[in-house]
Amino acid sequence: MSMVNITIDGKAVQVPEGTTVLEAAKMGGINIPTLCYLKDVNEIGACRMCLVEIKGARALQAACVYPVAEGNEILTSSQKVRDARRADLELLLSNHKKECLTCVRNQNCELQTLCEELNIDEVPYEGEMCDLPIDGSSPSIVRDPQKCILCRRCVGACANLQEIRVIDAINRGFNTAVGCAFDTPLGNAACINCGQCIVNCPVGALHEQDAIKDVWAAINDPDKIVLVQTAPAVRAAIGEEFGMKMGTPATKQMVGSLLRLGFDKVFDTDTGADLTIMEEGNELLERIQNGGVLPMITSCSPGWIKYCEHYYPDLLPHLSSCKSPHEMFGALLKSYYAQKQGIDAQKIVTVSVMPCTAKKYECQRPEMGVNGLQDVDYVLTTRELARMIKEARIDFLTQEGEFEVPFGPASGAAVIFGATGGVMEAALRTVADILTGKDLEDIEYHAVRGVEGVKEASLDLGLDKPVKIAVAHGIANAQVVLDKIRSGEMSDYAFIEIMACPGGCVNGGGQPIVSAQIKNWTDIRVERAKALYEEDRNLPIRKSHKNPIMDMLYDEFFEKPGSHKSHLYLHTEYTPRGKY
């Protein structure tokens, strides 16, 4: 690779040819501010916050898109540069709804941070304010156009990460806004509710539908028994909201805080994940042995499910009929647990704390209920739980708690559900034991780990031929796999895992928001996944079928995987939907 020599702020730097000024500065230890830029997602040089001065150039250049050349002399913080950035920022503020103190992104807003860094003490311009209404039509996502700064990071996430493109810049000039075609409300568009637009927005123009008030009301109702469950990816990220290093498990602090908030019982969704493996593994074996539709595709990710319903309805027979783990567990709490504890199920309120905004939509689906009771009543994101903890003035870092018995710590296989490849690995640990008739010790399937977009493997599981599997995360990667299934190219595959969000649930739309200044140079998918793999390694039980709670549930209630009762409570169906 050819190298070029440049100087940045007087510092000599050698970088590969084609490197942008922004990347070159980072390599030289120099930080240039950005706002619209997201590496590999939104590289359009629109906001002009990264302007730099290049000797010999006729104008300031956007560092995020300008490639360096041999001998470039670059200034990243000259008076000319600072004045230009300041003017750009003041113009952005001129028509921005400035209600920072009550904004959901207060103190975690990239626009606010830049104002502090550039010493903005007044807004000298008064622009024509956007008068578009807030769009709250989606069950998962709220859009506030008056806070939008037209950076298009949400557009980049929807188009480039997910290749869905339900939002884009519409209209022209001063009337430009981000929205759906023909001004269609988001709730009526073919949005999959994944929330990647939210976690990539630098300001408060996008946020989740808030369930905090409803959950507080349930906790404060003396006639209600409020049961809460938490997904594995939540413990891998919630600590970030309280200053813990990314990738640090915060299970005990999280459970202790939930108990302090007033929830009657705190459960681990991992029990539902183990139950999912029992049912999904049985379904896979039945399909393999009895000529069922293959490849079978996982059904844990509600964003992926909705995507398939909209865009690939012909492939719905390939989906596992299993509900997602938290829906299974919600059904379990309102049936088996209620009976065992002698509780009227009508009095139970189930709350799921999830890394996912799509689960807010999922819990409202009519298919996700039994006997007139919804499996899950409310979904809180990781961010919402953090806000509740802060509101209650709980010292998160000093809390300790344990999940409720008998549904205490589940298997390590369930824990890794939160990372891409985790569902596949968990299923393989059980299916391999069943097919080989052995208690295998080599249970870490590294072929399905990591953040490569599509991972494929061929495994010897004791059948007459190797079992082909694949894993895809992020809808753009899922499309590659789905098109191959459609064409027949993957007809000899047995099992495929798909997660809607890049990296899986650890990078879900409901997780703590990380600024672009960190996200551009740190792979948060990898860092958060480390917490899950660490917990898996430290647990005494690492296979779902080895969890004794599974024996209890089937002996006392569900009879066996795939039984009529299991299908009533733990399985569901899907609905073909139009693109609009």
Q: Do residues 267 and 407 lie in contact, with contact meaning Cβ atoms separated by under 8 Å?
A: yes
If you search the block for the tokens 């694949």, which residue do you land on?
470
Task: Give the position of tokens 């509900």.
Answer: 323
Catalytically annotated residue among 17, 117, 367, 559: 367
Q: Name the catalytic one among 265, 323, 334, 359.
A: 359
Distance CA 63, CA 21 (A): 5
Contact 417, 531 (CB under 8 A): no
- Can 360 be counted among the known catalytic residues? no
Q: Which of the residues 110, 283, 327, 497 is marked catalytic?
A: 283
Task: Choose the catalytic residue: 64, 151, 180, 300.
Answer: 300
Query: Annotated catalytic residue: which of 240, 241, 362, 527?
Result: 362
Catalytic position from the list 23, 110, 279, 280: 280
**Segments in 7-47 forming alpha helices (H):** 21-27
Residue type, 495: F
Query: Of 140, 320, 544, 566, which is the active-site residue?
Result: 320
CA 7, CA 10: separation in Å to the nearest integer?
5
By the 8 A CB rule, do 347 and 226 touch? no
Is-catalytic flag, 320? Answer: yes
Q: Give catalytic status of residue 367 as yes or no.
A: yes
> Among this protein's residues, is 280 annotated catalytic?
yes
Told to judge if 300 belongs to the known catalytic residues of this protein, a careful annotator would answer yes
Cα atoms in the 13 Å half-sphere on the side-chain side of 407: 24
CA distances from residue 544 to 9, 319, 344, 572 in whole angstroms, order as listed: 56, 21, 30, 21
Catalytic annotation present for 224: no
The whole-angstrom distance between residue 302's C-alpha and the CA centroid of its chain comes to 11
DSSP string, 70-139: TT-EEESS-HHHHHHHHHHHHHHHHTS---GGGSTTTTS-HHHHHHHHTT------------PPPB--SS
Query: Which is catalytic among the residues 279, 309, 505, 535?
Result: 505
Q: Does 286 participate in catalysis according to the annotation?
A: no
DSSP sequence for 42-74 = B----S-TTEEEETT-SS-EETTTPBP-TT-EE
The CA angle 149-155-156, to the nearest 5 degrees, is 110
Which active-site residues does the annotation give?
A: 280, 283, 300, 320, 359, 362, 367, 505
